[in-house]
Amino acid sequence: MMEQFIEIKANNPGSLLFYRMGDFYELFFDDAAEASRALGITLTKRGQHMGYDIPMCGVPVHAADDYLQKLISLGYRVAVCEQIEDPAEAKKRGSKSVVKRDVVRLVTPGTLTEEKLLVASESNYLMTLARIRGNSEQQMALAWIDISTGVFRVAETEHTRLLADILRIEPREFILADAIFHDPELKPVFDVLGRVAVPQPAVLFDSAMAESRITRYFGVETLDGFGTFSRAELTAAAAAVAYVEKTQIAERPPLGRPERESGNSTLFIDPATRGNLELTKTLSGSRDGSLLKAIDRTVTGGGGRLLAERLMSPLTDPEVINHRLDSISFLIDEPSLCGDLRTGLKHVPDMPRALSRLALDRGGPRDLGAILIGLQAARTVGQSLSKVMLPPELEEAMASLAALPDDVENLLSGLLAEELPLLKRDGGFVADGAYAELDEVRALRDQSRKVIAGLQLQYADETGIKSLKIKHNNVLGYFIEVTAGNAGPMTDTPEAKARFIHRQTMANAMRFTTTELADLETRIANAAGQALVIELEAFTHMNNAVTEQAEAIKAGARALGIIDVAAGLAMLAEEWGYRRPIVDDSRMFAIEGGRHPVVEQALRRQSAGAFIANECDLSPKDGGEFGALWLLTGPNMGGKSTFLRQNALIAILAQMGSFVPAASAHIGVVDRLFSRVGASDDLARGRSTFMVEMVETAAILNQATDRSLVILDEIGRGTATFDGLSIAWASVEHLHEANRCRGLFATHFHELTVLSEKLNRLSNATMKVKEWDGEVIFLHEVGPGAADRSYGIQVARLAGLPDAVVERARDVLTKLEDSDRKNPASQLIDDLPLFQIAVRKEETRRGPSKVEEALKALNPDDMTPREAMDALYALRKQLAEK
């Protein structure tokens, strides 16, 4: 057995080997030590190898999914080794023969299908990267597959946008050739991906074999019907197929045909912007607090995945965007229909994932049940939609629902029982009455006593022996027993002897059998097994019927997801007062009453008051061709960052096809969105906070076009004042003159506001504040003009800095602002502020002064005006003497 394990392990390096032994998966040697630490299970030993104990641990087969989930989340890959031979066959080769085993599947993060290992509302993508080098240039392409749903897409990419394209898809596993993985030029990309990136042998990425691999997988002669693909795209797609074949061994998931995505069809969002805007998760990695969490009102797993896909990949085609918006408008105008649809959708299981498990022979009765319930729900939803005139997107979805196979639904509803077991081997999933033969063997299995009692009564009537009994023991099985004195009717005639076969004579009794009883005994003994065989044949029949209609079922499931997303966004719009944006090919960007979708909901949850809505108009000025720039100044904590982010999020929501949190919005399609908000470092790559800021700013200035939207916050604040001011100044000029994009530029460098005098598309805007009784009140309103102060000291006081530090800061600020010297800070050196603070603290420790004691002793209510005047002069004299 150990020889077998070692041989199989040698063929699967880099994976933990789950070696099937009876009801357990066993791990040995280093795998056992590694797994015991990762899973927190006991490490024991089994036998010896080369004189040393063999470490061993194991997990029960019935609980394997739970352990796999933990291992996969920790980055491990697992090879599942099963028995591929009946133990009885192994015994024919000799008593010591080992049952044949082999790896039937490699479990990796990107090839999961088990329900327990997947998140219903998240896709689980496997992605591949291919690079084809030519004489003067190179082609790069990405392919991504979700084998749990059958999604298969490809797209070209390039070095400058590679990381952005990868993060848009968020693959769980990223496959690439060894040579690319070790390319120094691309190393920064793979450093960001971490252990998600997995190098593979170059043979997987052989472009010469690419087309034949794909045609063989899909069983076609040519790819002409699939569309036109570049050589790099075909290579990436073929590598994805090859990796699926490598991990799934003999099984084939029902993948859809590869669909080509154009790089210009989606809004380009660079990696830093995705992180800053917290689209699907916050900077801390939590889904709570993200934009996706704020807008998700879907009720199905497929709808949740589609919503996330649309959020991560907003469109740039106004026609398609407006089709999505039409669906939401329609459902808002039909609230009763929208409610009915959502009620029906709540009962829809995850059909694509159930279908994938069935196609991979990992499915069970509940997966067939999920298909049946999904088909029934789809019919109900389709009937609701058929009663009204629909917008294009919903019309197309209803056509997919109408194409769902009725024969599959009828077959499943006729064969499946109401209560379904998890595993097909448990039986009991075929309904009573579906098969007469199954009903008969079930009756024998479940009602054997009743059948035997009926036969006993028949024999008693036939022989006239009222005391006749049918009994059972482990030696004879079932037999007829009568007393010796009553045995005559069973032995007196040749016919009786032929009918009742003598088995045994006891002191006071005789035992007989009949061919009928012997046959019944055999049938009872085999009934359970026969029932399971019949049910397994029925399962195979249903499974084949479902998988033959895989494409239609997947299309119907996607249609349900589209309806779910539209209904969820309609509900969101009604709940929060979102409005339909105007989206076209212009350079407009006019938002009235805009709100931050995440912050607004957080304020309501905390009962912290209403969100202050603001306008933002970056549309071309005076009939100009290009959009405007706003230079935004104002105090810390005034709401600049929130204002910046909310406008970027409104653009994303509009282009993904959603209503937006604003009174109105007119957005000309944005081709690229850049947002540099907040500060962070990258110490692992030797980058300071300022260096990261400059790298991200450089990417923006080098890539933004005249259709882009740029959000910049506090550029240049990480270095010396004049250096930072100079960088910010030059950046504003470059955005205005070279990029000519729409943009918001927030800064504390008030000197930049003079640029509005020479840059015709630049406008000054500020966050409004009000001072009252020495306090500053942040109004969180944006208005025209420029701030003259940053109110940093007031914010420092609110943050809890010691009063002495705050007062000293006020003194320093006053002297710096009043000074006309070249180096105003030098005149502050002699003030010795720390010594002054120490003196004040020492005075505090000595107790109250004489003046304070005299003041406390006075009682103004008992004093005449003359006495009060005399006391005041006395206090002034004491103070002067001090």
**Which residues pair with residue 594 across a beta bridge?**
614
Predicted local confidence at residue 37, as pLDDT: 94
CATH 3.30.70.1730 given to domain 437-524: no
User: Is the model's pLDDT at 868 over the cut of 60?
Assistant: yes
Count of Cβ atoms closer than 10 Å to residue 661 Cβ: 30
Task: Consult the annotation and say whether 635 binds a ligand.
Answer: yes
Q: Could you please state the CATH topology (level 3) that the domain comprising 593-769+776-795 is classified under.
A: Rossmann fold (3.40.50)
User: Is the model's pLDDT at 776 over the cut of 90?
Assistant: no
Q: How far is CA 477 from CA 490, 491, 511, in A?
A: 20, 21, 11
User: Is the model's pLDDT at 871 over the cut of 70?
Assistant: yes
Question: Strand, helix or coil at 719?
Answer: coil
Query: Strand order in 151-157's β-sheet?
Result: 197-200, 173-177, 126-133, 138-146, 151-157, 259-261
Predicted local confidence at residue 840, as pLDDT: 52
Share of the chain above pLDDT 70, in %: 94
pLDDT band at 787 (very low <50, low <70, confident <90, very high): confident
Q: What is the pLDDT of residues 574-625, one digit of tens each?
A: 999 999 999 999 999 999 999 999 999 999 998 878 899 999 999 998 888 8
User: Is the model's pLDDT at 830 over the cut of 60?
Assistant: no
Predicted local confidence at residue 682, as pLDDT: 45
Q: What is the pLDDT of residues 477-508, one digit of tens each?
A: 899 999 988 999 999 888 899 999 999 999 88
User: Is the model's pLDDT at 336 over the cut of 50?
Assistant: yes
Task: Consult the annotation and say whether 641 binds a ligand.
Answer: yes
Which residues, 6+ apart, have CB-to-CB distance to 529 below 8 Å?
none
Q: What is the pLDDT of residues 349-377, one digit of tens each?
A: 999 999 999 999 999 999 999 999 999 99
pLDDT band at 684 (very low <50, low <70, confident <90, very high): very low
**Which residues pair with residue 48 across a beta bridge?**
53
- 740 phi-psi bin (left φ>0, alpha ψ -120 to 50, beta other): left
Query: Per-residue pLDDT averaged across 752-771, rounded?
Result: 90
Q: How far is CA 757 from CA 10, 617, 715, in A?
A: 73, 19, 21
**Which residues pair with residue 478 across a beta bridge?**
472
> In the structure encoding, which two tokens stand for residue 864, read together?
């005449």
User: Is the model's pLDDT at 295 over the cut of 70?
Assistant: yes
Q: What is the pLDDT of residues 228-238, one digit of tens each?
A: 999 999 999 99
> In the structure encoding, which two tokens stand for residue 471, read together?
């009994």
Task: Consult the annotation and say whether 640 binds a ligand.
Answer: yes
Query: How far is it, in rounded angstroms, from Cα 151 to Cα 808?
Result: 63
* Burial profile 820-838: b = 16 or more Cβ within 10 angstroms, e = fewer: eeeeeeeeeeeeebeeeee
Task: Consult the annotation and say whether 637 binds a ligand.
Answer: yes
Q: What is the pLDDT of residues 814-829, one digit of tens each?
A: 776 665 555 555 555 5
What is the chain's alpha carbon radius of gyration, rounded to the nearest angstrom? 39
Predicted local confidence at residue 774, as pLDDT: 62
Query: How far is it, in rounded angstroms, from Cα 103 to Cα 19?
Result: 9
Q: What is the pLDDT of residues 39-55, one digit of tens each?
A: 999 999 988 888 889 99
What are the two backbone dihedrals, phi and then psi, of residue 433, each rounded to the nearest 5 degrees?
90, -10
pLDDT band at 168 (very low <50, low <70, confident <90, very high): very high
Question: Strand, helix or coil at 781?
Answer: strand
Q: Which range among 209-218, 278-287, 834-843 shows the weakest confidence by mean pLDDT?
A: 834-843
Task: Consult the annotation and say whether 823 binds a ligand.
Answer: no
Q: Could you please state the CATH topology (level 3) that the domain comprising 295-417+536-575 is classified under.
A: MutS, DNA mismatch repair protein; Chain A, domain 3 (1.10.1420)
User: Is the model's pLDDT at 127 over the cut of 90?
Assistant: yes
Task: Consult the annotation and say whether 620 binds a ligand.
Answer: no
Query: How far is it, in rounded angstroms, from Cα 788 to Cα 129?
Result: 52
Contact 129, 236 (CB under 8 A): yes
Which residues, 6+ apart, have CB-to-CB distance to 761 below 8 Å?
620, 621, 624, 626, 627, 628, 629, 736, 740
pLDDT band at 321 (very low <50, low <70, confident <90, very high): very high
Predicted local confidence at residue 132, as pLDDT: 92
- Tell me which residue of 616, 619, 612, 611 sits closest to 632, measured CA to CA: 616
Task: Consult the annotation and say whether 639 binds a ligand.
Answer: yes
For the purposes of burial, counting CB atoms within 10 Å of the CB of 475, is it exposed (0-12), middle (13-18) or buried (19 or more)? exposed
Task: Please give the full DSSP string across 782-801, using - where no structure is assigned.
Answer: EEES--S---HHHHHHHHT-
pLDDT band at 687 (very low <50, low <70, confident <90, very high): low
Task: Consult the annotation and say whether 364 binds a ligand.
Answer: no
Share of the chain above pLDDT 90, in %: 62
Query: How far is it, in rounded angstroms, from Cα 294 to Cα 602?
Result: 9
Query: How far is it, in rounded angstroms, from Cα 380 to Cα 460?
Result: 58
Contact 277, 652 (CB under 8 A): yes
CATH 3.40.1170.10 given to domain 2-107: yes
Q: What is the pLDDT of residues 613-663, one digit of tens each?
A: 999 999 998 888 899 999 999 887 778 899 999 999 999 999 999 999 999
Q: Which CATH superfamily is domain 119-261 in?
A: MutS, connector domain (3.30.420.110)
Q: Which amino acid is at 509?
A: A
